[in-house]
Structure 1
Amino acid sequence: MKIAVFYHLRFGGAKRVVQEHVKGLRALGHTIDLYSTEKEDDMFDPGLFAHHEYIYPFSLSQGTIPFFGRMQKDFDVFYRLPLLHKKISQDIDTRRYDVVLVHTDSFTQAPFLLRYLKTNNVYFCLEPLRIVYEYSLRPPANLGIINRLYEYVTRFIRKRIDRENARSAKHTFAISLFGREYMIHSFDLYPKISYLGVDEKVFTPMNVKKKRQVLFVAEKEYIYGYDLIQKAMARIPKHKRPRLVFVFGTKNDRRITEKELVKTYNESVVVVSLSRYDTFGLVPLEAMACAVPVIALNVAGYRETMLSGRTGFLVDFDPQEIADRIMYLLDNPKIAHQMGQNGRTWVEKIWTWKKQIKHLEKLLLETV
């Protein structure tokens, strides 16, 4: 197939997904052209694996007055960005692709591109625009009345944009059963499922000494369970309490490298994932690939990738239960080791990118 791939994403797991899609589909013999509105210099560069890369520069206005600066940026997203996406769609349509694989646009979530494409296309939806659906992401209570009103108006507009763009796609893929349910609820769409994966050759067990540490790979925010891990650690007596290590993107004001991340996984006794609404969750897969047991909330996408009692534990929103599971693994290193080995076997059996890209290829061929 001749495939166009579109994305606009900042550094993070979602950009890794784009890179793995481009790399994996090209390895299967397909011609891949990449389209984006920005090229950021970081360890994920999907363009390295594409046959051609087309960049359409787009940046938001930089206002000097806070409120009016925000208005300028929203104007750029609501009015300038659709014009650029219309131009991109016209260029894609003239190059006669079999299918366009459309990933997320960090400005809008579902890209405007979907409204204008005439070419057969698929929206690969990681998740709907969470800030307009989730109560925990509501506007802060301390906003002034004008800012609060403006926030509600712009969120209403963004919700309509995300929904209309997503519903304009000819085909849609979700990344999990939970993700599909989220899309049914948000868009009244019924997507097929294309799971994510992990590179088991990168995320692999290492011969390093274990440290008495618990790893938390996420931002220090409520939606990622920062409050839960803090409360759980506080319930462990000080003389037994392990070190808690936080990792998210940067280390000493620089981006953490992939090698550093893999080493940190391997040095940890257990990885804790407590995101309240993660549609999939790459962190548990990366940890299991490194043969490290995982403690995760019994919600959302974690339920599909974890084998509770075998590769770690699924837990409730209970800091004491989380603390007890952490101490159980610390006090029983042989069991922790066996759970880690089970996780590695589980990843190799089901969750490698090679297997998931092959399934993605099958789904794409069905749309052609």
Structure 2
Amino acid sequence: MADRRNTKLRIALCHPDLGIGGAERLVVDAAVELTALGHHVHIFTAHHDRKRCFEETVDGSFPVTVYGDFLPRHIFNRLHAVCAYIRCVYVAICMALLWPRFDVVFADQVSAVIPVLKLKRGSKILFYCHFPDLLLAQHTTKLRRLYRAPLNWIEQTTTGMADCVLVNSEFTASIFSSTFTRLQAQGLHPAVLYPAVNVHQFDTSSKNPPDLSFIPGLPADGHTFLSINRFERKKNIALAISAFAILVRQQEKSQSTMVPKELVRLVIAGGYDQRLAENREYLQELKTLATEEGVADLVIFVPSCSTSQRNALLAACICVLYTPKNEHFGIVPLESMAAQKPVVACNSGGPKESVQHGKTGYLCESNPASFATAMSLILQDPSRAEIMGKDARKHVEENFSRQVFGERLSTVIQDLLKDSL
């Protein structure tokens, strides 16, 4: 058997829309690290806006080719899933017809491309399942169930055609097995490849304190709790506000043992799109909740937070609150720990695998009282946050850095090909 450990491979990545979301970040990280390891990498996609994308996709690190951007994303604001399937399959057809064989094709999100990609004999297909799409879709009416039924069948059937299936966490692996029961019965067990974070982007210098001029009124010597998430109801940001309100009331009753409330803030930042009704409505709901909880003057909202603003907030806060329950994985805890900040998160889903309870943060029940208890521990002893932050950074460097991710992915690919020659 030939040893392919040092072989430079031709690797294609097939992704629906190369924007700036978490799935796109993972695909770009895969391309960056596989390129750094000497492989010849090429990304294929149905959409790539050079003005709204990750820098690595336009700096010449690897080629990006777009096919099918002329195809509709929806039909009268309906049939989004069908249109996504059509666009992605078109990309796969162009890859199969117009390009020579790749050693490996890394596909994600839309498994319908797999049978088309397998038409190119000799190419191994690796599919990365971020989460079963059929669980993300709505099945609330009979019409929706009828619409989704063939798509759900296609998703399970075509996922099973991949030569290797990866998922982003043990939590997602368990959901995968309980959802795709037919694949489970066939003995398909996905392997876990955790997403990664570029730890060096959070390196800071004590000579250059974070620029927080975009948040007027934030106490320079204050203690800031930070929540970073998209303004969507499923992110459960209300939990952070209610927990913060409990913490503030505790301070008012015991001011001698805690920081004065005038120096404590909660900053809620994250992705916000004015065009989306849910974003607009949820932001207003959160502001209303802050008023009802009596902490409106202590809660600061930063919608449409830029990368530089996010990094400044991470550098300035004492702790990050991560509120989604049963999150598939969650990249925010990794970013927070890479920035040397402890994380308070729900004791469910991906954070159970990324946050070390009592060492790099706290895993809590999904209720305000539990979160407030963890927040109080950190607020009462700032040195605790500093020690946990250092442990958190080391934890991410050793287990979730982009370099570790790339090496593990390369090993998966090499193992997939080891019997090919």
Return the TM-score normalized by structure 1: 0.84
The whole-number CA distance in structure 1 between the counterparts of 2:195 and 2:162 is: 20
Give the letter for the 1:245 counterpart: V
Deviations 1:48-78 (A, max 9, x none): 3554321013356488xxxx71346555346
Give the letter for the 2:229 counterpart: A
Question: Pick from 155, 160, 166: which aligns with 1:167?
Answer: 160
Query: Do the aligned residues in 2 keep the contact of 1:235 with 1:323 (CA within 8 Å)?
Result: yes
**Aligned residue in 1 for 2:131:** 127
Equivalence map 1:139-288=2 (5 Å): 139=140, 148-187=141-180, 188=184, 189-207=188-206, 208=209, 211-237=222-248, 240=261, 242-250=264-272, 256-288=305-337
Give the Å deviation of 1:243. 2.3
**Aligned residue in 1 for 2:113:** 113
Query: Do the aligned residues in 1 keep the contact of 2:130 with 2:172 (CA within 8 Å)?
Result: yes
1:42 paired with 2:52, answer yes
Give the Å deviation of 1:233. 2.3
Question: Pick from 64, 86, 93: which aligns with 1:87?
Answer: 93
**Aligned residue in 2 for 1:76:** 83
Give the Å deviation of 1:332. 1.1
- Extract unaligned runs of 5+ from structure 2: 1-8, 210-219, 253-260, 276-302
SS in 1 for 2:90: helix
Give the letter for the 1:219 counterpart: R
Distance change >3 Å, CA 82–CA 296, structure 1 → 2: closer
Distance change >3 Å, CA 262–CA 138, structure 1 → 2: farther
Query: Do the aligned residues in 1 keep the contact of 2:202 with 2:311 (CA within 8 Å)?
Result: yes
Query: Do the aligned residues in 2 keep the contact of 1:198 with 1:351 (CA within 8 Å)?
Result: yes
SS in 2 for 1:95: coil
Distance change >3 Å, CA 130–CA 228, structure 1 → 2: farther
Deviations 1:298-355 (A, max 9, x none): 1111111111101110111221010121122112111111111111121222221111
Give the Å deviation of 1:43. 4.5
1:297 paired with 2:297, answer no
Distance change >3 Å, CA 310–CA 287, structure 1 → 2: same
CA RMSD across the alignment = 2.7
Give the Å deviation of 1:197. 1.6
**Aligned residue in 2 for 1:142:** none
Give the Å deviation of 1:250. 4.8
The whole-number CA distance in structure 2 between the counterparts of 1:24 and 1:312 is: 28
The whole-number CA distance in structure 2 between the counterparts of 1:38 and 1:8 is: 7
- Extract unaligned runs of 5+ from structure 1: 105-109, 140-147
Query: Do the aligned residues in 1 keep the contact of 2:93 with 2:117 (CA within 8 Å)?
Result: no
1:18 paired with 2:23, answer no
Distance change >3 Å, CA 45–CA 152, structure 1 → 2: farther
Give the Å deviation of 1:296. 0.8
Deviations 1:212-231 (A, max 9, x none): 22111112334222232232
The whole-number CA distance in structure 2 between the counterparts of 1:124 and 1:74 is: 18
Query: Do the aligned residues in 1 keep the contact of 2:130 with 2:328 (CA within 8 Å)?
Result: yes
**Aligned residue in 2 for 1:366:** 415
**Aligned residue in 2 for 1:3:** 11
> Number of aligned pairs?
346
**Aligned residue in 1 for 2:215:** none
Deviations 1:264-316 (A, max 9, x none): 11111110112212222111111111111100111111111111101110111
- Bigger radius of gyration among the two: 2
**Aligned residue in 2 for 1:312:** 361
Deviations 1:184-219 (A, max 9, x none): 222233112222221111123453366422111112
Give the Å deviation of 1:122. 0.1
Query: Do the aligned residues in 1 keep the contact of 2:231 with 2:272 (CA within 8 Å)?
Result: no
The whole-number CA distance in structure 1 between the counterparts of 2:24 and 2:155 is: 19
Give the letter for the 1:194 counterpart: L
Question: Pick from 344, 368, 382: which aligns with 1:333?
Answer: 382
**Aligned residue in 1 for 2:38:** 29
Query: Do the aligned residues in 1 keep the contact of 2:359 with 2:392 (CA within 8 Å)?
Result: yes
SS in 1 for 2:202: coil
The whole-number CA distance in structure 1 between the counterparts of 2:107 and 2:163 is: 11
- What is the percent sequence identity of the aligned residues? 21
Distance change >3 Å, CA 70–CA 259, structure 1 → 2: closer
Give the letter for the 1:38 counterpart: H
**Aligned residue in 1 for 2:104:** 99
SS in 2 for 1:292: coil
Query: Do the aligned residues in 2 keep the contact of 1:273 with 1:295 (CA within 8 Å)?
Result: yes
Query: Do the aligned residues in 2 keep the contact of 1:125 with 1:174 (CA within 8 Å)?
Result: yes
1:357 paired with 2:406, answer yes
SS in 2 for 1:215: strand
The whole-number CA distance in structure 2 between the counterparts of 1:73 and 1:353 is: 32
Query: Do the aligned residues in 2 keep the contact of 1:210 with 1:269 (CA within 8 Å)?
Result: no
Give the letter for the 1:289 counterpart: A
Query: Do the aligned residues in 1 keep the contact of 2:16 with 2:88 (CA within 8 Å)?
Result: no
The whole-number CA distance in structure 1 between the counterparts of 2:176 and 2:70 is: 29
The whole-number CA distance in structure 2 between the counterparts of 1:359 and 1:286 is: 20
